Structures are given as structure tokens and as C-alpha cells.
Amino acid sequence: MKKIKFIGLFTAALFTAGFAFADDFDFGDDFGSDFGGDFGDSSASFAGGALEVNGEAQIDFRAYFDDEDEYGLPVDEWKTDTTPKGKINLKYSNSAVSAEAKFAFSKDVLENYREDVIDELTLESYLGNFVVQAGKMKVVWGKGDKLHAVDNFNANDYTDFIIPDYIDRRIAEPMIRVLYNVPKDVGPFSSSRFELVWTPTMTADRYASGGRWVPAQVKSLEKNLKRIATDSISNTIKGLEENRTKLAVAQTGYYNAESAYEAASEADKAKYAAQMQACGSAAKTAQENLTALNATYISQLSNSSSLADNLYPDTKQLKYMQAGARFTTTTGSLDWGLSYYVGRDKRASFDNSKIDSFVSTYLSKGSADDDDKFIDYDFLQVFGLEAAKTFGAYNFRAEGAYNLTKDTAGDDPKVHNNSVGWVFGFDRDLPLSELNMNVQFQGKYILNHDKINDLGVLDTESGTFENDNKVVVNISDSWNHGKVKPEVSAVYGFQHYDLIVMPKITWYVSDGLEFCAKGMYMASYKSDKTEFEGWHNNGFVQLGAKYTF
């Protein structure tokens, strides 16, 4: 399976407004970011510290009921997936340091992303009021409930769409993190926290390259690249045919001139000798062209198979490093914070003017420098504000972000425009059974939207809305003393008219063992305006079992 990281051509809607809520909303099992601490007390003591061993084993059976035949009618046979996966968490800690390693195992990880077997690896040291962390880590910023506007360090894995839990979709990044906890007796900053984060590289959002969850825009890019490559190869074939014809004509002309030369008088021999020389020169040129074009043709055929795997710049360079600072505190009953991020947008942007030259270069050389590639990741600064407060039975939370790129004027087709993003919502317990309702709104406003396509060329954000707003609702309950927990989640996009509904019920059978049944249905009411093009009426049912230890 190829590792497709970016959709590229004709993808503006998906990457500018699309998948924004998917970055953060929980549609799956909630393992939590520190799942090891919840799985039991398996531990052993070592020289002043303790080693904890936790983990889980899970298997899911999923059946898709949305397949259609060539006439758009439902088919009788449902396609199925059986997915076994597991996690192991090792943690050692004493009074001064701790070390934690989280391992993840699944077919996709073992076959395509082996570096993600180590899901996280964190080394932590306690230095008075300072905490220093280093390793391969996931850091979550913001007060939102698995829906964020200011959380930027880790990319997302969409190879199973948005079905896994938020923290499980995040891709761990090598980083250093320093925390300073202000002592409680230090005036107005009492009980505050300062945080610094730095990463040497960046990982981009990850998308499926095969199977059901390949976005329609990925298929569009591959189709366009294939068309451009096919046209280039066809031109080479055309050149081969033209030069074969030229060679045949030149050879025929040479033989005819040679025959005429032998039969000609002395006065005419010079004329036919000149014809022989001209035809010989033309034949030599045609043969040289044939040799070169044949080598080009063979090279193009060979390189075309790996074209889609080499579209992206190498982000494991210091120029893609990320950094940020965050301050959080409590004023009265209000928890709030400020943050600043500088790094790269995890969504890719593209330079439409480079596509043809990139394909030509790659087909001929089998490689292309980063400067030759039409895909890149925008330099990005994010100024964030977050807050959470309880009013009676309501728990409110909010985040706001100003996203600053290098396209302040909004007229650079290669760069995303500046934008403002936000999340706000609440949850509360309802006076019936143990019902809980969580409602959150997520949105984005693109600045200078009227400048998109102003130059008459395809823009990275072509096809987007100036405003993009969604509502995310989750209603959950608890029955039989917490042993049975039903819930339903739904997302509705006001501009795109997309709807996703996911019901779920979990039965906690005994200590560590649980069974889960859930399903999903997607609808896209305006196919030309949807974020989820190609997934209209997509749906599945799933049964699963999980054991934690």
C-alpha cells in the first residue's frame, strides 16, 4: 500500500474546511491519552521505582451495507473487515524520573507504518516546579472536549476515516516539552502553568491510499497524474513513431540515391552523392533520436509506477520544525489560557503551475528535488485563546484561533489564506436516567475569501466556503449500574449539508472485558458541495470485543 499523505489537485474543500471536526471529535472507543493508567495494577518494584505493565487486546468485525451495483441499486453481499489490534504500555517511575513506552499493533501499522509500532515513548524528569519531557509524544492543547482549534503539533491518521478516538488518530511526534508549575503562593499567577514545546520535524496528515476510505480527491489527483503521465508517455511514443518513419524514409532515399548513383553519368554522380549524404545524415539523426526516445520510454514506464509515492517534500528537515508556548491558569472559577504555535499546516497546499513540469521531471529522472514538487506545507502561526467554566449544571468550553500564513492578502494560489477558527459548546447531565448531552459548534472563517482564484488560476482553496460551520452532538446514558452504556453521536455541516450519525452501545461484561456494537451512516445531500464526496449513503455495522489488563 502506498503512503498517500496529501490529496493535491482539486482538494481545497477537503483540506481547508473539510475534516476539521474530524481532527478532534471522538467517534470511537475512548482509550484516552494515558490508557495505561486505567488498565490495572500489573507492576513490579525495581530499585526505588516501579514498573507497570498494562495493555489491551481488541477485535472488531465490521460489515458495510452501502455497496451499489452499476445501476445504483444495493447489492446483496456486504463487504466485511475483521480487524485485530492490541496495545502494550510499559511505565517505570520513581520520585525523580519516569519512562513510558506505548506499543500499538495492527495489520496497517505492521504492513505500512512500522515506525508507529512505538506509538509513544516519553522520558520525564521532575526538577522542582519544572517537568522536562522528551521522546515521541502526543500533546493536546485546548479546553475543548475532543474538538479543538488550538491543537497543532500532532498530525492525524485518517486511514480509517474518523472512526478511531481522537487520541488514537493523532500521530506521535519527536519533541521536547518543558512545563513550569507556578507555586500556589505566587500572587496572581498562583496555580498557573507555563509550557514550551519544540519538535525538530513535522508529520503531515495521513490518508488512505487504497480501500474504502480513500477520499474522492485522492482518486482525482491520481487520475490527473495518470492522465498527465500518459500524455507524456504518449508524446514519447509519438516521437518514436515519427522518427521510425523518418528513418525509413531516409533509408529508402539513401538506397534509391545509391542505385541512381551507380547508374548515373559522371556528370550526375555528384547530385546523387549529395542525396546519399543527406539521407545518411537524416537516418543517423533519426536513429539517434530513436535510441534516446526508446530509453526515455523505458524510463518513463518504469518511473510512472512510483510517481504517486514521491509527491511530497521531505518534512524530516529542520525547516519543518515546530515550536510553541502556552500559558494556562484559573481566575476565580474560570479556567483559561493563551497559546502561540509556529510551524507548518498539516494540510498540504499545491502549486498548480508546477504539476506538468514535476511529472515530466520525475518520469525522466525517477526523482525530483523538493523545489520541483508542486506540494508543500504552509508556514503557519497560530494565536490561541481557550476557556472553560461551569454555570450551574452546564460545563462550557471554548477555543479561538487566528491562523496566520504568508498569504495575508489572500491572493497567493499556492498558500492557504489567513483564517479564524473556533470551538464552543457545553455538556450537562439531563434529569432522566443518567443521560448526558454534549453539544459543540466548530467553525472557520477564511479571510479575503473573495481573492481566491482572483488571478484566474486554480487556488489551493478553490471550492471552499467563506464560512464553514458544524454542530457535533453526543448523547449518552448508563444502565444497570454502569455495566451498559448506550450513546449516539451526530455531526451536521451547515454549509456542506453533510450528516454523520453513529450509534453505539457498550456492555462491560466483567473486569477488563467488554463487548461493543456500533454503526455509522453518512449522507451528503449536495454532491458538488460535500466534504465527503463519494461517501454518500456510506454506512456499516460493527461488533467488537476488548479485554484490558
pLDDT by residue (tens digit) across 222-264? Answer: 888 889 999 999 999 999 999 999 999 999 999 998 898 888 8
Instruction: Looking at 428-505, list the stretches that DSSP marks H as alpha helix, in order from N- to C-terminal side.
Output: none
pLDDT (0 to 100) of residue 32 = 34
Residue recorded with cell 439531563? 430
Q: Which CA distances in Å does 494 have to 17, 217, 443, 497, 498?
A: 12, 21, 10, 5, 8
pLDDT (0 to 100) of residue 8 = 35
HEC-encoded secondary structure of 323-349: EEEEEEEEECCEEEEEEEEEEEEEEEE
pLDDT (0 to 100) of residue 185 = 77
**If we measure between CA atoms, which residue out of 126, 70, 121 comes closest to residue 95?**
126
134-145: string of b/e by CB count within 10 Å (b at 16+)?
bbbbbbbbbbbb
Helices 355-365 and 216-263: angle between axes, nearest 10 degrees = 60
Q: Which positions of the chain have pLDDT values less than 50? A: 1-41, 70-71
CA 449/CA 493 separation, integer angstroms: 19
DSSP state of 148: -
